[in-house]
Amino acid sequence: MRKLLRNYLPDHQAIHSNRWLAPFSNTLLHPRLWHLNRRSAAGAVAVGLFCGLIPGPFQILGAVIGALLLRVNLPLAMLTTFYTNPLTIVPLYVVAFALGKLALGEIGHGAEFVQPPEYDAAGFQAWIGALMNWMIGLGTPLALGLVLLASLLALLGYVVMRFLWRIYLVRSWRRRNLKRRHPAA
C-alpha cells in the first residue's frame, strides 16, 4: 500500500527545494508529515475528508493546518480534499443541509434548500460575497450539517483506510508465508 501511495505523492525534497516554502521548511519537513504508515495515512484521509467541506479555496490550507497539528501525512491530507469539486459540492451541501435540519428537528418545516450562486463575469470577489450570503441565508441547518457531515466523513474515511490497510497487510503476510513454504511456486 505504501509503494502504491508513494507513486502519487510528492516527496519532502520537493518542499525542501521550493524557494517559496523554504521559510517553513523546519515545520514542513517534520518526518511524521512525510512518513506513510497505516496510522498516518488513515489520519491524513480523515483530515482531508473533514477539510474538504470547508467553503471556498481554503480546503487545502485547512488540510495543511490539520496535518501539522495532528502530525499525519501532509500530501495525502491535501490530496484527499479534492473529493469536493464543482460536480460534488452541491449534492454534499444538500446532504449537509438535510443532516442539519434532521439534527435540529426541523424536518418538514423551516428553510428550504436554495441553489448556490454560480460563478459569472462579475468576478471572484463578487462570487465569494454571493456565496457567503447564500450560506448565511441557509443558516444554522447548513452550518451544523456541514460540521456533522465532515465529522462523519472523517470518521468513515479513517475506519475504511485502516480496514483497507489491514487487508493489504494480511494478504502480503500470507503471500510471504506461502513463498517461504513453497519457494519453487
> Containing domain of residue 135, as a range?
2-181
pLDDT greater than 70 at residue 28 = no
Task: Give the Cα separation of 85 and 172 in Å (integer).
Answer: 35
Tally of structural domains, the chain: 1
- Torsion sign across C-alpha atoms 57, 61, 43, 151: negative
Give the pLDDT confidence of 139-149 residue by residue, as tens digits: 788 889 999 99
Residue 13 or residue 152, greater confidence = 152
Say if CB 110 and CB 142 are below 8 A apart: no
Task: Give the Cα separation of 124 and 137 in Å (integer).
Answer: 20
Q: Cell 441565508, residue?
A: 137
> pLDDT category, 153, cuts 50, 70, 90?
very high
Q: What is the pLDDT of residue 117?
A: 73
